Each structure stands twice: as C-alpha cells, then as structure tokens.
C-alpha cells in the first residue's frame, strides 16, 4: 500500500510531530508510514483521513503487490 | 487499541535501575569470582553434605539471576511513553528477532561447548533472549531514527 501522507501534510503545513500528536501516535510511526514501511490499522487510517478532511481512499492506495 | 500484558511506563526506568547494576556485578562475578560474604548461608548439615556441595552456599549468583530476570522483564515489557500500534508491531518483531539470534547461538554452543562449559553457556542463555530483544527494540525505536534524520530532512 502507498499513501500521500507526506504531501497532505505539506499542504496543510504541519510537521510529522504535530500530526503524530493530533492522532496520538509516536513520530516514528508517522515516519514509518510515510516511508511505506508500515501499513496502519483501519482505525489509524480513518483518524489520519479525518485530520486531512478527506476520504481514506484519497490518502491511501493499493499498489501492484497488494 | 490498548496493548495488553504490559507494565506501566515508569517501571521501565526502575527496570534499568535494577538491570544495569546487576549486569555490572554479574560481570565482576564472572571475571573475578566476586561474591558477597553477607550472602553466605549455612544450608546443609555436615552429615548429609554431598560430596560436591559444601555446608555453606553463597547466594550471590542466585540474587544476580533473580535481579536480572526481574529487571530485564521490566525493561522489555513496560509500555513506551507513546505506545501505539507501530510500537507494538516493532516489539513483537524484535521479540522474534531475539529468539532467532538466541536459537542460533544455542545451536552453536550445542556443537562447540561440552561439559561444564556448556552449563556456563546455558546459564548466560537464561538472559540473552531478553537482552537481544531489548537491544533490537530500543535500537529501532530510539537510535535508528536519529541516523535517518541526519541523512535526510523529512520532518520539514
């Protein structure tokens, strides 16, 4: 799975640390997701989508290997 | 999602406070045979004292073992400051890692150590699974990110 978290974050101009704080995870978790090393749970994906005010599908995408 | 079976975060620090002195004293015990005389107890009568067991038993090694097991478990299984799902995943992954490395070393020691040497190696083995786990887990959580942020600025 791929995601647009880094881009979305740049658009509303918040840092990894700020996003982490708003969804109550560690900064490393955000970093792991942005570098496609970690696929978040549905709960976390929904929380992230809510911060960016977009549906989950506009932030997370399946890729060929999924 | 609340992780289960973990100790509260403040116990991690207490775990370190127990583990580090126990490891240092343990090192002295292995290298110098350092024992504490106040831990010497008379536990057997002369009549039934075994050929290989004295009347007195020094409990330094027993105490070290108990402290290490308690300390290492507290360090290993206390919650992190922010305990989220990625941390939980990393914890389980590191545990698997620790078991793999430990099994590999057990395999080597099975082949290369015999008699009392093997016994010594197996004594270390009581603690090494947790030790490898703790090293790997804390490396991923606290040391690796500092390398990465030096290499590229990704936090804006």
Q: Which residues of B12-24 are buried (b: 16+ CB within 10 A; e: fewer)?
A: beebbebbeebbe
Does some domain include residue B2? no
Query: In terms of domains, do B109 and B131 share one?
Result: yes
pLDDT beyond 60 at A66: yes
Tell me the pTM.
Answer: 0.85
pLDDT at B155: 46
- Cβ-defined contact of B148 to A31 (cutoff 8 Å): yes
- Return the exposure string of A26-52: e unless at least 16 CB atoms fall within 10 Å of the residue's CB, then b: bbbbbbbbbeeebbbeeebbeebbebb
Q: Is the pLDDT of residue B31 over 50?
A: yes
In CATH, the architecture of A2-53 is Orthogonal Bundle (1.10)
Partner-chain contact A26 B148, CB within 8 Å: no
Is B93 found in the same domain as B60?
no
Q: Are residues B65 and B86 in the same domain?
A: no
ipTM value for the complex: 0.88
Total of domains in chain B: 2
Say if residue B153's pLDDT is above 60: no
Residue B1 located in a structural domain = no
Same domain, B57 and B90: no
Per domain, the residue ranges of chain A are: 2-53
Q: For residue range B81-119, what is the model confidence (pLDDT) as tens digits?
A: 999 999 999 999 999 999 999 999 999 999 999 999 999
B84 touches chain A (CB under 8 A): yes
10 Å CB burial of residue A66 (0-12, 13-18, 19+) is exposed
Contact status of A12 with chain B (Cβ, < 8 Å): no
b (16+ CB within 10 A) / e for B91-100: beebbebbee
Q: Which residues in chain A have Cβ-Cβ distances shorter than 8 Å to B145?
A: 27-28, 31
The two three-digit tokens of residue B92, written as one number: 């389980």
| Structure tokens that stand for B144 in this block | 């690796």
Chains A, B: CB contacts within 8 A come to 49
In a 3-state reduction of DSSP, which class is residue B77? coil
DSSP SS3 for B29: helix
Task: Identify the residue whose tokens are 């330094």.
Answer: B60
Structural domain span for residue B150: 82-155
B-contacting residues in A 17-36 (Cβ below 8 Å): 17, 20, 24-29, 31-35
């Amino acid at each position: 799975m791929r995601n647009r978290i880094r881009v979305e974050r740049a658009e509303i101009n918040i840092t990894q640390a700020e996003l982490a704080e708003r969804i109550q995870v560690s900064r490393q978790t955000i970093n792991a997701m942005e570098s496609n090393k970690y696929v978040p749970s549905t709960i976390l994906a929904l929380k992230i989508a809510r911060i960016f005010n977009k549906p989950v599908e506009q932030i997370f995408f399946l890729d060929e290997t999924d | 999602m609340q992780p289960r079976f973990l100790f509260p975060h403040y116990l991690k620090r207490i775990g370190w406070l127990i583990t580090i002195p126990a490891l240092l004293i343990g090192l002295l015990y292995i290298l110098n045979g350092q024992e504490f005389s106040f831990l010497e107890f008379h536990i057997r009568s002369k009549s039934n004292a075994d050929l290989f067991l004295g009347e007195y038993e020094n409990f330094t090694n027993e105490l070290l073992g108990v402290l290490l097991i308690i300390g290492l478990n507290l360090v290993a299984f206390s919650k992190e400051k922010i305990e989220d799902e990625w941390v939980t995943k990393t914890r389980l992954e590191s545990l698997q890692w620790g078991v793999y490395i430990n099994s590999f070393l057990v395999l080597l020691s099975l082949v290369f150590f015999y008699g009392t040497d093997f016994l010594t190696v197996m004594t270390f083995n009581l603690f090494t699974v947790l030790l490898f786990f703790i090293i790997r887990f804390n490396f991923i959580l606290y040391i690796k990110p500092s390398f990465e942020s030096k290499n590229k600025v990704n936090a804006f």
